[in-house]
Amino acid sequence: MSRLTFDASNHPHRRLNALTGEWVLVSPHRARRPWQGESAPAGDETAPSYEPSCYLCPGNQRANGAVNPHYRAPFLFANDFAALMPDTPAPPGDDELLVQTAARGEAHVLCFSPDHSRSLPQLSAPEVRAVVDAWKQISRELFEKYAFVQLFENKGAMMGCSSPHPHGQIWATDYWPTEIVKEDAQQAAWLARTGTPLLQSVIEREDATGERVVDSNARWLAIVPWWAAWPFETLLIARDPVSRIDQLDAEASDLLAEILRRLTARYDNLFATGFPYSMGWHQHPAGSASPEGWRLHAHFYPPLLRSATVRKFMVGFELLAEPQRDLTAEQAAQRLRDMSPELMEELR
């Protein structure tokens, strides 16, 4: 029997992701190892407000020949290279080993602003509120036809963003995606066992300790979740009992715009760069047996670990066994909390 006293900031341990039922290995001592791997170039912070070669800028021609209007607010259009289509034939489904099924849906692109150079933390509060309103509207419309609506943003080339013009995407599916199936089951089980929505329990615990809180206001809480796998992963949770984004009232929408600007500014300030990430909203899918167990939330998955040029790779053990991280959620939250929620002058 070991006589060592456990120290979460130094000793390897596993943490359970309550939203998915999966585990993550935490190895905080590894953050001290030397790095001789890839260093990606830092992002270009000097983009112009208008780029003639950009497919998403106002008035420009897209790859399929369509011409963008001279838009002055968030611009939504059907994805020219959509991963899903509303009308596709069902494939044969009579092989018990090589199983396949139909996948139908829609995909849309949402340009956040006509300005090619300005990401979310560089927009004004009213401009971000306009993005929130666009999310609400398209989500409401698509949930009338589909089982699930995924709102998301890939920011930065490091996260596979195909255009530097700040934008997000909306994919609607006639089925529940894998992550949603897991989250629905976990939240339903927690509600049945405790009588409280899972993420309400998370809010109460995080408010009480403050250890993993990054930012907060009257309607929203941003934390590095206990089970975070990516180095500076965050979870943004609605304090109100809402399960879809279109249920937000005017004040909650305003305060969402505020905390989005603050959270993404903290990210950019951390390594003085346009911080790459994939983020997306999870809302209750159509047909959920217990939608009251759901709480609207957004995941931010950023890859940067040590600097603007060194990222976390999900390879080896992470791909073949389970996710692993090199600093604790508490350490990551403290570093983000120490950042100003106002964007540094050189990044504006």
The residues assigned a catalytic role are: 167
Minimal CA–CA distance to 341: which of 104, 120, 95?
120
DSSP 234-257: EEEEESSS--SGGG--HHHHHHHH
Determine contact, residues 166/120, Cβ cutoff 8 Å.
yes
Determine contact, residues 221/236, Cβ cutoff 8 Å.
yes
Which amino acid belongs to residue 347? L
- Residue 179's alpha-carbon distances to 57, 127, 281, 285, 315, in angstroms, are 33, 30, 12, 11, 20
DSSP-derived letter for residue 86 is S
- CA–CA separation, 111 and 278 (whole Å): 16
Which uninterrupted H or E stretch holds 325?
Answer: strand 324-325
- CA–CA separation, 119 and 93 (whole Å): 44
Place of tokens 């984004």: 245
Long-range contacts, 247-251 (Cβ 8 Å, 24+):
247/296, 248/132, 248/136, 248/296, 251/219
